[in-house]
Every structure is written in structure tokens, then in C-alpha cells.
A and B are shown apart, each in its own frame.
Chain A
Amino acid sequence: EIVLTQSPATLSLSPGEGATLSCRASQVISTYLAWYQHKPGQAPRLLIYDAFKRATGVPARFSGSVSGTDFTLTISSLEPEDFAIYYCQHRSNWPPLTFGGGTKVEIK
């Protein structure tokens, strides 16, 4: 089973700053990785799929990249609405579908 390890657990940043979130896979998973944004009381939102493709309606300040088993979500300049928890997710051959433990981006 693929294990996804996200770091850091918490990022404390100010609006306007850039954010770099990491997700490391325990094995090579090609580009089968997504990123979600989750705010309390709301449905999770798909941001990035296939490692670097933005989902419909996602602002250009969100970008994804991959190097081997290391995946990165970059937020170029944090807007107030970007403070949330971010999860990475992978699905290879069923089952299972796995999530990382999450990174909380909080206001400094």
C-alpha cells in the first residue's frame, strides 16, 4: 500500500506570502496524485490532479509539481481564503485510495 507523507504539519504564514507544501509517496506513483483544499464545515475541494493540472475554476496561484516521489503544492501568494487544510491523495490499483495526513496553512 502506498503511504503519502505530508510536511510540514502546519505552516504559519501571512497573507501575500508564498506557501510550499510537500507530499512524499512511499513508492513511485507516476503523476497519479491530487491535492485538495478543506475548510472547516465545508466540502473538500479538488485543486490539482495528475500532479500538476489545475481543476476547473482553481486560481492560477495554485500550482503542482513532481520530482520522483516528491510532490509539491505551491501557492504563489496567499489570499485570506487560502488558509485551510490541504491533503494530497493517490489511487493506484484498487484498493485503496489513500490520503496524506494533511498540512494546515494558518495565519501567522
Chain B
Amino acid sequence: QVQLQESGPGLVKPSETLSLSCTVSGDFSYDNGFTWGWIRQPPGKGLEWIASLYSRGTTYYSPSLKSRLTISGDTSKNQFSLKVTSVTAADTAVYYCARHDESGYFLEYWGQGILVTVAS
């Protein structure tokens, strides 16, 4: 089993940078050759994939958000993180971190999610 826990601010001001972390625990550590990702759900809407990171370094970004995103990992802390720059109200959402399955195609383990509101 893998446990994932998101952390970060619940409120961010418009135009600022949102920084989120996901701590990995359980039977797997962060650097285990898996792919790790972030997904969000705006209020009343569906799931939207944002970014993923293969633990050996390759990054993948949503084309529509790519210019504002950075995903990175820290093996010493058993964490991976997401930064979203220049946030607007449209970035208000529940943000989930997840671990892809061995194939990399699907999302096998998910965190509980963290609500981030962008407001002044």
C-alpha cells in the first residue's frame, strides 16, 4: 500500500505562486521508479490532470497549463511538489496527488486532496 498526503496553503492571493507538496509513505518510497502526478477538481467540475513526474526525472505537463507549472521531487523528504505561478480564481480547486501504476498509464493511489482557494 501507498499513502499520499497533500500539504500546502488553503488560500492563495491572485497573481501569487501556489506551492503544494505530497508526502509518500507506506510500502513504497518516492524514488521507486514510478510516475507521480497531480490532478485537480475545480468546484462543481470534473477531474483535470495537471502534471506528472517520473521519479528518475522526466516531467509531463498539461499543455494548457505548462507555462505556469513546475513539478519536482525530493527523495530525501520522500516528497514531490507542484508549483503553479500567477494563479487566478480559475485555479481554485481540490488538488490531488497520485501515484501512477506500473504501466504509467493509470492512477493507482491517490491522496485525499487539499482545497486551495485563490482569493484576495
Contacts and interface: CB of A to CB of B under 8 A. Distances in A.
A98 B49 contact: yes
Given A95-B60, A96-B62, A96-B63, A46 B49 contact: no
B106 A91 contact: yes
Interface of B: 37, 39, 46-49, 52, 60-63, 96, 101, 103-108, 110-113
Contacts of A1: 63
Contacts, number: 61
Interface string A23-42: 00000000010101010001
A38 B108 contact: no
B49 A36 contact: no
Interface string A1-19: 1000000000000000000
A3 to B, nearest CB: 13
A99 interface: yes
Q: How large, as a class, is the contact surface on chain A?
A: 20 to 34
A96 B108 CA distance: 17
Interface of A: 1, 32, 34, 36, 38, 42-46, 49-50, 55, 87, 89, 91, 94-102
Contacts of A91: 104-106
B108 A46 contact: yes
B47 A46 contact: no
A45 B110 contact: yes
A34 B62 contact: no
